[in-house]
Amino acid sequence: MNIENKLLKYLDKPIEEADDLEIYNACVDMVKSIIDKKERIVSDKKVYYISAEFLVGKQLGKNLINLGLYDELEKVLKKHNKSLYEIEAKEKEPSLGNGGLGRLAACFLDSIATLNMSGDGIGLNYHFGLFKQVFRKHKQYETPDEWLDSKTMLRETKVSFPVELAHRTYNSIMYDLDVVGYDAGVNKLHLFDLSTIDEDIVKKGISFNKKAIEKNLTLFLYPDDSDREGQLLRIYQQYFMVSNAAQLILKEEKEKGHDLHDLANYVSIQINDTHPSLIIPELIRLLMKEDMTIKEAAAIVANTCAYTNHTILAEALEKWPLEYLEEVVPQLIPIIQGLDYAVYNAFPNNATLSIIDNDRKVHMANMDMHFSKSINGVAALHTEILKNQELRDFYHVYPHKFNNKTNGITFRRWIMHSNHELAKLITELIGEEWKKDATQLERLLWFYDNDEVLNRLDTIKYNNKVRLAEFVLKREKIKIDPNSIFDVQVKRMHEYKRQQMNALWLIYKYLKIKNGEYPSRPITVLFGGKAAPAYYMAKNIIHLIICLGDIINNDPEVSKYLKVVFLSNYNIDKAERVIPACDISEQISLASKEASGTGNMKFMLNGAITLGTADGANVEIRDLVGNDNIYIFGKSSDEVINKYNTNSYHAKEYYERSEMIHHVVDFIISKKMLEIGDEEMLKALHDNLVNKDWFMTLLDFEEYCHVKENVLNDYENRSWWIRKSLVNIAKSGYFSSDRTILDYNNDIWHLR
Ligand code: 26Q
Residue 111: give its domain's CATH number: 3.40.50.2000
d(CA 174, CA 184): 24
- Domain assignment present for residue 726? The answer is no
Residue 707 burial (CB count, 10 A):
17
Which pLDDT score is estimated for 604?
98
Which pLDDT score is estimated for 201?
97
- Domain assignment present for residue 423? The answer is no
Query: Could you read off the pLDDT of 689-746 as tens digits, one per residue?
Result: 999 999 999 999 999 999 999 999 999 999 999 999 999 999 999 999 999 999 999 9
Residue-level length of the chain: 752
Active-site residue, from 188, 602, 635, 731: 602
Give yes or no for residue 222 CB within 6 A of ligand 1.
Answer: yes
Which pLDDT score is estimated for 456?
98
465 is catalytic: no
Give yes or no for residue 555 CB within 6 A of ligand 1.
Answer: no
State which of 131, 273, 274, 362 you would mutate to test the pocket of ligand 1, scoring each by most atoms of that ligand within 8 A of its C-beta: 273
Give yes or no for residue 53 CB within 6 A of ligand 1.
Answer: no
> Is 133 in contact with 191 (CB distance < 8 Å)?
no
Together in a domain, 288 and 251: yes
d(CA 600, CA 587): 7
Together in a domain, 282 and 314: yes
491 is catalytic: yes
Together in a domain, 745 and 692: no
Together in a domain, 307 and 383: yes
Q: Please, what are the averages of pLDDT over each run of 10 residues along the chain (752 residues)?
A: 95 96 98 98 98 98 98 98 98 97 98 98 98 98 95 97 98 98 98 98 95 97 95 98 99 98 98 98 98 98 98 88 98 98 96 97 98 98 97 98 98 98 98 97 98 98 98 98 98 98 98 98 98 97 98 98 98 98 99 98 98 98 98 98 98 98 98 98 98 98 98 98 98 98 98 94
Which pLDDT score is estimated for 366?
98
State the sign of the Cα–Cα–Cα–Cα dihedral 564, 568, 569, 573: negative
Which pLDDT score is estimated for 380?
98
- Domain assignment present for residue 77? The answer is no
> Is 184 in contact with 41 (CB distance < 8 Å)?
yes
SS3 annotation, 81-123:
CCCHHHHHCCCCCCCCCCCHHHHHHHHHHHHHHHCCCCEEEEE
Phi and psi at residue 354, in whole multiples of 5°?
-75, 155
- What end-to-end distance do the CA atoms of the chain give, in Å? 35
> 0.85 exceeded by the pTM?
yes
Which pLDDT score is estimated for 521?
98
Which pLDDT score is estimated for 9?
97
Together in a domain, 582 and 704: yes
Which pLDDT score is estimated for 1?
85
Give yes or no for residue 598 CB within 6 A of ligand 1.
Answer: yes
Give yes or no for residue 595 CB within 6 A of ligand 1.
Answer: yes
Task: Give the closest residue (by CA) to ligand 1 atom 21.
Answer: 101
103 is catalytic: no
Which pLDDT score is estimated for 478?
98
Q: What residue numbers bound the domain in which 595 lies?
A: 482-718
Together in a domain, 260 and 345: yes
435 is catalytic: no
Which pLDDT score is estimated for 149?
87
Give yes or no for residue 613 CB within 6 A of ligand 1.
Answer: no
Together in a domain, 346 and 253: yes
Secondary structure class of 648 (helix, strand, coil):
coil
Measure Cα distances from 48 to 87, 108, 112, 207, 271 in Å.
33, 11, 11, 33, 9
598 is catalytic: yes
State which of 310, 320, 498, 737 you would mutate to test the pocket of ligand 1, scoring each by most atoms of that ligand within 8 A of its C-beta: 310
DSSP state of 484: S
Which pLDDT score is estimated for 271?
98
d(CA 550, CA 566): 11
- Domain assignment present for residue 21? The answer is no
Residue 412 burial (CB count, 10 A):
25
| Number of domains, the chain | 2
- Domain assignment present for residue 590? The answer is yes
d(CA 475, CA 135): 13
- Domain assignment present for residue 317? The answer is yes
How far apart are the CA of 421 and the centre of ligand 1, in A?
32
Give yes or no for residue 318 CB within 6 A of ligand 1.
Answer: yes
Together in a domain, 680 and 745: no
Together in a domain, 157 and 50: yes
How far apart are the CA of 505 and the centre of ligand 1, in A?
27
Active-site residue, from 598, 610, 613, 740: 598
Which pLDDT score is estimated for 315?
77
Together in a domain, 179 and 131: yes
State which of 311, 410, 496, 740 you would mutate to test the pocket of ligand 1, scoring each by most atoms of that ligand within 8 A of its C-beta: 311
d(CA 343, CA 295): 12
How far apart are the CA of 310 and the centre of ligand 1, in A?
6
Buried b (16+ CB within 10 A) or exposed e, 104-121: bbbbbbbbbbbbbbbbbb
> Is 370 in contact with 698 (CB distance < 8 Å)?
no
Ramachandran area for residue 450 (φ above 0: left; ψ -120 to 50: alpha; else beta): beta
Which pLDDT score is estimated for 329?
98
Measure Cα distances from 441 to 68, 444, 535, 736 in Å.
20, 6, 41, 11
